[in-house]
Amino acid sequence: MDPDDVVEMLNELFAVCIPIIFKYDGTVDKYVGDSILAVFGSPEPDKRQWENAVRASLEMQQAIRVQQEVWQKRKLPVYRIGIGIHTGAVLHGFIGAPERMEFTVIGDAVNRATRFCDGAEGGEVIISPEVFARVANSVEAIPKIIRTKHPESEPDMAAYIVKAWNAIDTSPLPAVSG
């Protein structure tokens, strides 16, 4: 592909994903190469951050499948993304110098999230056990072991592939009079 075509296709991909991240109250921390670092629950706390992250991810994969048909008509290569979700304590704040400040998150949980992303195949939404513990009642998920390429220094990681969001509406029914 021509470099300009790569940027164009990447921007079309991002144009599909970003509005969905925002719809679920996520923020885009940064782009790292062809990846998006999205954050849920920062800077504003969000009690539904885990649900929002998982549902946004499933919706992005669905939207990319639709976009795929557009790309195929233009004879562009198949582009599938893997999504990994992790949760944990992070530092968030403005980092940098007056000449260049960025609001960003820092911490081991961020680095670990990257490993779940790396472990996600194209089309998959992978969540860490810590995320699974928060959404277990609402997702259809199957276990997955992310095999490390470097077993001598990094252990394999337990994870889950999320297949669907199965939330049952448990809000109280309205009282019916009469």
List residues binding its own copies (CB under 8 A): 3, 6-7, 10-11, 14-15, 17-19, 22, 28, 30-34, 91, 93-100, 102, 104, 106-107, 110-111, 149-150, 153
Identify each DSSP E strand in the chain by its residue range.
26-32, 35-40, 83-85, 91-97, 100-106, 125-127, 139-146, 157-165
Cβ closest to its own copies, residue 7 vs residue 164: 7
Residue 61 CB, shortest distance to its own copies, in Å, is 17
CB of 156 to its own copies, least distance (A): 15
Apex 105 CA angle, 102 and 110, nearest 5: 140
Which of 64, 162 has the CB closer to its own copies?
64
The residue among 24, 37, 26 whose CA lies nearest residue 107 is 37
Backbone phi and psi for residue 4, each to the nearest 5 degrees, phi listed first: -65, -35
Q: How far is the CB of 143 from its own copies (least distance, A)?
A: 26
Structure tokens at 78: 């198949």
Q: Cβ of residue 123: shortest distance to its own copies, in angstroms?
A: 21
Shortest approach of its own copies to residue 9 CB, angstroms? 11
* Structural contact between residues 148 and 154, judged by C-beta atoms closer than 8 angstroms: yes
Cβ proximity to its own copies: between 22 and 163 the closer is 22
Measured CA distances, 54 to 79, 104, 151 (Å): 21, 21, 29
By beta-carbon proximity to its own copies, the closer residue of 74 and 149 is 149
Residue 105 or residue 162: which is nearer to its own copies going by CB?
A: 105
Evaluate the omega torsion of the peptide bond into residue 19 and state whether it is cis, within 30 degrees of 0.
Answer: no
